[in-house]
Amino acid sequence: MNKCFLFPIYLTLLSLLAACSSRQNFTNPVISGDLPDPSVIRVNGSYYATSTSSEWAPFYPYFKSKDLINWTQIGHIFDVQPEWTLSSFWAPELYELNGKVYCYYTARRRTDGITCIGVAIANSPEGPFVDHGILINHGKEAIDAFIFDDAGQLYITWKAYGLDDRNIEIVGSKLSADGLRLEGELFSLLRDDEGIGMEGQYHYKEGDYYYLIYAARDCCGPKSNYDVRVARAKSFTGPYEKYEGNPILTGGKQYVSVGHGTAVKGLDNQLYYLCHGYLSGDNVYQGRQPILQQIKMNKEGWPYFVTGKEASRNQPLIKAAHKQEKSADFKDSFDSKSLKPEWTWNYAFATNEFELVNKQLHLKGTAKPDNDYGTAMCVRPTAQHYTFETQVVNQNDASKGLTLYGDHKNLFLLSIQGNEIHLKSVKDGKEDLLETVVNDANNVYLKVEVNRGVYCDFFWSTDGRHWKKINQEAIDATALTRWDRVARPGLIHIGKANAPAIFSYFKMNKASI
């Protein structure tokens, strides 16, 4: 047979095989960016998920999916900070009750800084959520709530004694039928006898046993060693026996660490665990990203993950799920009536300091202490090599432009002030001017390229096409990584409200390696 005739058939077969392969698998993370401690529920054929927002506002980003694989951010649990809260917006947990969606969440109390568990309720799974205040105030710290229905009796469990000179415990209480009050005496389900940490629990029942899946070891940072473990009992209240095969999920070649999640039935009626993981290598600087893995039971009656004990990015596609879409680049032309839900800002310094006017973003400032660096609006990085840019369309005495932002005292900024472009670093509140460029153009474009997650190059332009590099060598921004979160790219304004920053667009694009 003619070889020239066979060659196109061979290519066609390869294409078909590749297409089939891509349909049969999905790749973690299923939601890109720093979204720790995810919680997921299924309501009326749709999935909803939320996560820790830490020191970023709005509070607890909120997502929707039809298949657990492809997610869209639809908003936040709270657009406005609950009055009782101060900071540390951690570990929200979703639960459906009586046709409503409850969110049990962790935050520090404004009056004394004690970490408590609050509750909010939405009449619809897509909100809005209304806060009902503090539910649990337990000692020095109460975090990581989870709700379980045992034959009609609601229970709530949480992590206790993490700040005390004693072993951490998962403790619980009966919960009222409306989900808003503790009832009866508290009880202990599981204790951290090994002294390695215990939190982020998830409960479910299979056959004769109640299973308690939990996270152990160090949760956070590029050198963390978080893993997933399990215990079981014949009664929900215990006593629980820990599995001799623990941990059942760990980091490894593809992940630094994994843990803290909840599970839900997929479209194939199988159980899938959504937790977070730090990718290994330079991708670690994208933070703790949501990963999905299927759970099954072994013949001894213990759960295991179908792709192995070591967390894997490549997972078999859920039956009836759609093909996984690639995470998109981000762009905002500010031509809508409201900000895109991907935007975040430092909650303590930026609330209500921006507005959209004539397809432009006006970012305003207020009188701040000298060592608080402005109003920053940022997005979550979704790649280890990316660029972000903007156009500043006004001149005044305020400093305005781009930032790679760790917190209000640790950041890099490329900004325009008068007719000067400044490249500055801020470390522990101390400012260092690295470079200055004099430019008299009214409209200036600024761009930052980030490689390997933290190495930055800074550029400026008068037309947005021809770029001039400011720094001589790439600048290392590793120090911006906070203990519980990673640096975010975005816009910044440092100045007074009567001297705003005006931006015509912002975009963040993944770059080829």
Which are the catalytic amino acids? 37, 199
> Rounded CA gap, 289 and 225, in Å?
15
Side-chain-side CA neighbours of residue 259 (13 Å)? 29
> Rounded CA gap, 136 and 399, in Å?
43
> Rounded CA gap, 358 and 356, in Å?
7
Tell me the two tokens of residue 431: 């400012």
Are 448 and 487 a contacting pair, CB within 8 Å?
Answer: no
> Rounded CA gap, 278 and 266, in Å?
24
Whose tokens are 């990203």? That residue is 289
Cα torsion 188, 193, 194, 198 to 10°: value is 10
- Residue 219: Cβ-neighbour burial (10 angstroms; 0-12, 13-18, 19+): buried
N-term to C-term CA, the chain: 42
> Rounded CA gap, 330 and 369, in Å?
32
Are 91 and 200 a contacting pair, CB within 8 Å?
Answer: yes
Rounded to the nearest angstrom, the gap between the alpha carbon of residue 349 and the centroid of all alpha carbons in its chain is 20
Are 160 and 202 a contacting pair, CB within 8 Å?
Answer: no
Residue 14 has phi, psi (to 5 degrees) of -60, -40
Q: Count Cβ neighbours within 10 Å for each residue of 327-337 and write b for 16 or more, e otherwise.
A: beebebebeee
313 DSSP 8-state letter: S
